[in-house]
Amino acid sequence: MSDATPAVQRPAPHGSRDSAFFWEGCRRGVLMGQRCADCGAWRHPPRPMCPHCQSVEREEVELSGRATLYSWAKPVHPPLPMFEPGYLIALVDLEEGQRMLSNLCDVSPEAIEIGMPLEVFFVETAEGGAVHQFRPRQAS
């Protein structure tokens, strides 16, 4: 989990039977993905059937948490009470090949560059849940 506790706490996500493993991973601080056990195609959001080969066989895989920024937006209206003012929405390409929607944190809009390297971190929600967020990758 991130050391920062937001002033506004988001409601806990309520996963489906197909996405429960993803949200449980977030709660544990691990980004999880779903891959077709037959053709190997990634599928996000998690769902019961592969859109490529229609198989219902799946694998739940721990992901690296490394990504690059594909696109971003700063919403203006309407304000949402579960988000801090000025939040950023990010569409990220994960290292494994999935594209995921999340939030972009710890960066000013002026410093954002498409293709910038990102890393995942997790923010606690109400009721003991957690959600994934992305921030600029720390140099190692």
| Distance (Å, whole) CA 92 – CA 101 | 6
Contact 30, 132 (CB under 8 A): no
Number of Cβ within a 10 Å radius of residue 71: 12
Of 123, 122, 115, the C-alpha closest to 92 is 115
| Distance (Å, whole) CA 55 – CA 53 | 6
Dump pLDDT digits (tens) for 43-69. Answer: 999 999 999 999 999 999 999 999 999
Q: Which of 22-31, 76-85, 104-113 has the lowest mean pLDDT?
A: 76-85
Dump pLDDT digits (tens) for 14-48. Answer: 889 999 999 999 999 999 999 999 999 999 999 99
